[in-house]
Amino acid sequence: MQQYTITRRTFVGGVLGSVAVGMGGVATGSATAQQSATAPSTLASVLQPVIPRWRGFNLLERFSSDWSGKDPFRESDFQAAKEWGFNFFRIPMDYRYWGSSKDYFEIREADLAEIDRVVELGRQYGIHINLNFHRAPGYCVNEPKEPTVLWEDAKAMDACEKHWGHFARRFKGRPNSELSFNLLNEPGDAVKVGDYERFARLMVAAIRREDEGRLIVVDGLKWGQAPAWGLWPLGVVQSGRGYGPFGLTHFKASWVKGSDTWSVPTWPGDGWDKARLEREYVAPWRQFASRGGTVHIGEFGCFNRTRHAVALAWMKDLMALWNAQGWGWALWNLRGAFGVADSDREDAVYEDYKGMKLDRAMLEILRGQ
């Protein structure tokens, strides 16, 4: 059975057991980690989580109440992922599906039934479910802007604690092999390190008051591109990103201003190659992992306007770098413009697969890494 180490306790399938000394590559030193995005010289003696090499996809049925309807999660996605050999789904969620931007504290129980269902589907198919607040009261990387700013509004912060506490109670008893919580999607460049660390500490405390052993994931700083070293004492997984170089992965993306004027991406090209990917996007996380930190790549992918052959060549190089480190990952998305199916690439060859148009060439790269 998969073993998980969280803070100073060992959990097997979510059940408290004995401490396994040395598990997770514990670094010893000062009792307080440096409050900085850079690597501290010493780290608190806190065991970091040990997780499987989760590989899979983001499912977007509850990603945005502005852009999506209320369609149920598709069981066929679970069937396909299981058949392909994947074991992980990240579920980006918009709190407005069960709450309200007019009353941050509102929670409509009936509207959480679909979240219950996706967790249960994960259990049935042996696929780990990672629940993520993509939009939380007071913060989201996407438009529209929230009515308040999470870091400046005590009510928004209190509401986030309430929502995560509610989730912790709701799913208490689900083993960590089946379920984890991802606190907030991608704190941006404008988010101060101290503000993000304060948020994470409050959310972790709110969750662990209800469910002491719940496995928790935090996105890294700078849109998930840099480890948050100051969160080391929390004993959490840290989640990175794989969207570099941005000129390749988001070429002609409608929501990125000016992207339609960028030069046509090539790979390697425009000063980018596998070695630069390693230096700029892998090395910071490799340093974190080398100190005993636990890394998972929560999102990556390439928008469908980049030529198919270029996207595949880039993907193969990036994933080879992650594979060398033993890191898992989740493609954004399974079905859609970044995905392995129904991506509407003009130059890709698709095959019919259980009602989807499958990009077999991309799938085989994913399966090989």
The answer to the question of residue 9 being in a domain is yes
- Domain residues for the domain of 100 are 3-31+44-368
pLDDT in tens, 87-145: 999 999 999 999 999 999 999 999 999 999 999 999 999 999 999 999 999 999 999 99
- From CA 71, how far away is CA 297, in angstroms rounded? 27
pLDDT in tens, 169-227: 999 999 999 999 999 999 999 999 999 999 999 999 999 999 999 999 999 999 999 99
Is the pLDDT score of 5 beyond 60?
A: no
Percent of the chain with pLDDT over 90: 86
Indicate whether 54 pLDDT > 80.
yes
Phi, psi of 318 (to 5 degrees): -65, -45
Task: Tell me the mean pLDDT in the region 243-263.
Answer: 96
Average pLDDT over residues 240-245: 97
Contacts of 355 (CB under 8 A, 6+ apart): 76
- Label residue 236 by pLDDT band (50, 70, 90): very high
Give the confidence band of 40 by pLDDT, cuts at 50, 70, 90.
confident
Quote the number of domains for the chain. 1
Which pLDDT does position 11 carry in this prediction?
Answer: 33
Q: With a threshold of 0.85, does the pTM exceed it?
A: yes
The answer to whether residue 330 sits within a structural domain is yes
Q: CA–CA separation, 218 vs 261, rounded Å?
A: 34
Instruction: Name the nearest CA neighbour of 222 among 237, 244, 252, 204.
Output: 244
Q: Hey, CA dihedral for 171, 177, 183, 186, is it positive or negative? A: negative
- Given a cut of 80, whether residue 301 has pLDDT beyond it is yes
Q: Looking at per-residue confidence, does 368 or 357 come out higher?
A: 357
Instruction: Calculate mean pLDDT across residues 314-323.
Output: 97
Lowest mean pLDDT among 41-55, 136-150, 243-257, 322-336: 41-55
The pLDDT of residue 182? 98
pLDDT band at 232 (very low <50, low <70, confident <90, very high): very high
Would 37 be classed as within a structural domain? no
CATH of the domain at 163: 3.20.20.80
Instruction: Answer yes or no: is 38 within a domain.
Output: no
Asked, for residue 277, whether it belongs to a domain, the answer is yes
Report if residue 250 sits inside a domain: yes
pLDDT of 352 > 70? The answer is yes
For residue 322, being part of any structural domain is answered with yes
Answer whether residue 12 shows pLDDT above 90. Answer: no
- At residue 37, the pLDDT reads 63
pLDDT at 42 (0 to 100): 83
What is the mean pLDDT of the segment spanning 141-164? 97
> Is 36 contained in some domain?
no
